[in-house]
Amino acid sequence: MSVEILESTSGIEDLTLVGIRRGGVALAARIAEEIAAVEGRSPPVGTVDISLYRDDAATALPNPKIGPSDIPFDVRGRHVVLVDDVLHTGRTVRAAIECLQDHGRPARIWLAALCDRGGRELPIAPDFVGRTIEVDTGRLDVWIDAAGPDRVVLTEGE
């Protein structure tokens, strides 16, 4: 995915990566490392917490655990790649875009997802995807860990 991102965004000059908290943060860091291996330097990396931007925040988050968004660079005029581990309904991405735009207006927002499990409720599609895994019911969990093996686990049923 890293090489594909570099090719599509015309290199590293205006490129930034923003991981969607929680699952996209480690993946954004991993992509930045891979880009650094190719380009000799890493693009700026930030994170967004979408808890308060969710369209169901009032009902689904009675005691929300809100983490900070951390975007230590100006997004205005930049190519921002939003990064998440699993793309499902599209609602997390919609919230992340809204959060990101509170930090400025990027030239373009791209979407990278390690796993696309289908089941979209909004017209959102990834620009970069590691693997498409059709999941009708069940849960798809991804663990990206520098200390251990990466894992993708499908749990059948709900």
- Domain span holding position 42: 2-155
Instruction: Report phi then psi at 44, rounded to 5.
Output: -60, 145
Would you say 11 and 76 are in contact if contact means Cβ atoms under 8 Å apart?
Answer: no
Residues 6+ apart with CB under 8 A from 117: 86, 87, 88, 132, 133, 134, 135, 140
CATH number for the domain harbouring residue 64: 3.40.50.2020
CA nearest neighbour of 109 among 120, 119, 124: 124
How many domains in the chain? 1
pLDDT in tens, the chain (158 residues): 999 999 999 889 999 999 999 889 999 999 999 999 999 999 999 999 998 887 765 555 555 556 778 999 999 999 999 999 999 999 999 999 999 999 999 999 999 999 999 889 999 999 999 999 887 777 777 777 766 677 777 777 65
E-assigned strands of 14-143? 15-20, 45-48, 79-87, 108-116, 128-132, 139-143
